């Protein structure tokens, strides 16, 4: 099978590798259709962030079952997506279903080979069926959309709450849509990139120019500060903006992975106390209890309540993926959400 292999820092190459075979612990062989590029993939590939070499990146994906062992519950031709975190079930916190909070786990695309290759073997417990109404392209964005769902769900929201998202990238726009689903009005999106602000507007959200006093704009449009603010950039500046944009009794959710040192001055910290803010952290998503979990809800909402396909700017084939990731890292041109077509024969149409 063809694999895009990170052989060393900054070097991605197409290799021909043996097709893995189903086994007792990973009884389902999946032919990968599409695999999304996460922001974490770029420092992993180009900034020395890989756990080991060689490595196949890609933890956001959907595909079709090629083969499965008896008793797996899946058959050839089933369309699926997969939760990429494989928990160590000996940990007590994992035994109560909090897989993302455990310290012992495996992970497709970072600790083990991921989806930038034609086939993966996967535990049946990690798989979710893709409904006929969805394209595999949209289904490949289940994982980031679930991360966005989890972040939006951290705050206690009631219909009519005002909300602001600091950062209008793909994750930020998914968060903003989830907040709207939960009844927030208005939902403001602060973003420096005019093209991303345009996408936000096309989705019915209210874009704010982050280069033109965004905190003041959010306060003005929400009557003194938003009830809920989600930080979705990961910059020290945007963390401070998120805190400053919240109103009295406001809730702030820190979603972005921090890049740089985040410090607060005395006046900023005092303002948190005087407004009695609540600050939440968030990471990943939750897949228990099965059937009432976040992934089940996300799959039901994809491209219906939360539009993900309009966020996609590029769909390179596997042969072009190395070039595209390099261009993204070097910021050679504008990108939004990039999803690699791993299976050249994968159709974008929904099943009839």
Domain 148-281: CATH class, spelled out: alpha beta
Q: What is the pLDDT of residue 347?
A: 63
pLDDT of residue 298: 98
In the three-class reduction of DSSP (H, G, I as helix; E, B as strand; rest coil), residue 241 is classed as: helix
Distances from the Cα of 278 to the Cαs of 7, 180, 240, 248, in angstroms? 44, 20, 14, 10
DSSP character string of 161-192: --EEEE--SHHHHHHHHHHHHTT-SSEEEEES
- Token pair listed for 275: 């407004």
Instruction: State phi, psi for 119 to the nearest 5 degrees.
Output: -135, 150
Give the CATH number of domain 2-141+308-341: 3.90.180.10
Residue 352 has pLDDT above 60, yes or no: no
Each residue's pLDDT tens digit, 255-310: 999 889 989 999 999 999 999 999 999 999 999 999 999 999 999 999 999 999 99
pLDDT attached to residue 331: 97
Tens digit of each residue's pLDDT (9 = 90 or more) over 156-213: 999 999 999 999 999 999 999 999 999 999 999 999 999 999 999 999 999 999 999 9
Integer-rounded Cα radius of gyration of the chain = 20
Measured CA to CA in angstroms, residue 70 lies from 63, 65, 67, 87, 111 at distances of 20, 13, 10, 23, 28
Q: Is the pTM of this model over 0.75?
A: yes
- pLDDT value at residue 35: 98
Query: Does the pLDDT value for residue 346 go beyond 90?
Result: no
Q: What is the mean pLDDT of residues 79-97?
A: 96
Distance of CA 240 to the CA centre of its chain: 23
User: What does the pLDDT average to over 231-236?
Assistant: 96
pLDDT at position 349: 53
* Nearest Cα to Cα of residue 22 among 75, 63, 60: 75
- Same CATH topology for 2-141+308-341 and 148-281: the answer is no
The yes-or-no verdict on residue 13 having pLDDT over 60 is yes
- Angle made by CA atoms 61, 66, 68, in degrees to the nearest 5: 105
pLDDT of residue 351 exceeding 50, the answer is: no
Q: Where do the structural domains in the chain lie, given as residue ranges? A: 2-141+308-341, 148-281
- Confidence tier at 7 by pLDDT (50, 70, 90): very high
Q: DSSP state, 61? A: E
């Amino acid at each position: 099978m063809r694999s895009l292999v990170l052989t060393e820092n900054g070097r991605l190459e197409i290799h021909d590798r043996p097709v893995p075979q189903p086994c007792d612990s990973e009884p389902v062989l999946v032919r990968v259709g599409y695999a999304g590029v996460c922001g974490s993939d770029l420092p992993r590939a180009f900034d020395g962030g890989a756990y080991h070499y060689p490595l196949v990146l890609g933890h956001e994906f959907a595909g079709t079952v090629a083969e499965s062992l008896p008793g797996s519950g899946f058959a050839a031709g089933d369309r699926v997506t997969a939760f990429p975190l494989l928990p160590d079930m000996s940990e007590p916190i994992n035994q109560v279903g909090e897989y993302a909070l455990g310290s012992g786990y495996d992970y497709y695309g970072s600790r083990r080979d991921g989806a930038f290759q034609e086939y993966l073997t996967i535990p049946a417990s990690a798989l979710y069926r893709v409904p006929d109404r969805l394209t595999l392209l949209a289904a490949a964005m289940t994982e980031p959309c679930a991360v966005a769902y989890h972040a939006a769900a951290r705050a206690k929201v009631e219909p009519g709450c005002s909300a602001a998202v600091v950062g209008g990238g793909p994750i930020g726009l998914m968060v903003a849509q989830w907040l709207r689903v939960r009844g927030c009005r208005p939902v403001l999106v602060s973003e420096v990139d005019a093209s991303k602000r345009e996408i936000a507007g096309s989705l019915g959200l209210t874009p704010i120019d982050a280069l033109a006093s965004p905190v003041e704009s959010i306060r003005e449009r929400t009557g003194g500060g938003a009830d809920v603010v989600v930080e979705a950039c990961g910059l020290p500046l945007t963390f401070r903006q998120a805190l400053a944009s919240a109103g009295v009794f406001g809730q702030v959710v820190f979603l972005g992975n921090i890049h740089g040192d985040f410090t607060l001055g005395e006046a900023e910290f005092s303002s948190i106390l005087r407004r009695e803010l609540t600050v939440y952290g968030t990471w990943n998503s939750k897949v228990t209890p099965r059937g009432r979990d976040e992934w089940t809800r996300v799959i039901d909402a994809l491209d219906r309540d939360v539009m993900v396909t309009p966020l996609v700017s590029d769909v390179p084939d596997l042969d072009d993926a190395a070039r595209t990731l390099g261009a993204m890292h070097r910021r050679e041109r504008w990108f939004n959400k990039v999803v690699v077509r791993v299976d050249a024969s994968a159709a974008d149409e929904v099943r009839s």
